[in-house]
């Protein structure tokens, strides 16, 4: 189950980024909905992955040590999931603004994409097969 969730989480990332770019270029309700809802799926997969991941479970039991050690452990304990949740909130706020045809939608989508780009583990394999 862990490997299947990791595979899905890894591949859905590309859909999220693609829909995020679409929402940034066309800050309307339809692209914004695709972005926000695909990101919701991504965060849901990430939460499920955290529950079944032996790596993450080991980190949670020693969270203080992981934060002090830095590097990959700190990234997954702190930055990765916090950035994903921030991006999720920004994407849904952008969707609400896009539905009202407000110009702020583009800014919110851009901030969501920035949070995502900073939260992606670029040091890990980009495509899992």
pLDDT value of position 60: 61
CA 109/CA 32 separation, integer angstroms: 8
Q: Of 73, 68, 69, 71, nearest to 55 (Cα)? A: 73
Let me know: does 18 contact 68? Beta carbons within 8 Å.
no
Tell me if residue 48 falls in helix, strand or coil: helix
- pLDDT truncated to tens, each residue of the chain (129 aa)? 888 998 999 999 999 999 999 999 999 999 999 999 999 999 999 999 888 887 766 666 666 676 677 677 778 777 888 999 999 999 999 999 999 999 999 999 999 999 999 999 888 777 776
pTM of the model: 0.87
Coil, helix or strand at residue 92: helix
Rounded to whole angstroms, how far apart are CA atoms 94 and 5? 28
């Amino acid at each position: 189950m862990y490997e299947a969730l990791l595979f899905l989480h890894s591949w859905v990332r590309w859909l999220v980024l693609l829909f995020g770019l679409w929402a940034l270029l066309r800050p309307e309700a339809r692209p914004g909905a695709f972005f926000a809802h695909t990101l919701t799926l991504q965060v849901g997969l990430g939460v499920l992955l955290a529950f079944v991941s032996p790596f993450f479970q080991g980190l949670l039991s020693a969270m203080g040590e992981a934060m002090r050690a830095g590097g990959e452990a700190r990234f997954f304990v702190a930055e990765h999931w916090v950035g994903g949740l921030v991006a999720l909130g920004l994407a849904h706020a952008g969707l609400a603004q896009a539905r009202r045809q407000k110009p702020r939608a583009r800014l919110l989508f851009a901030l969501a994409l920035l949070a995502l780009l900073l939260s992606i583990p670029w040091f890990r394999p980009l495509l899992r097969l």
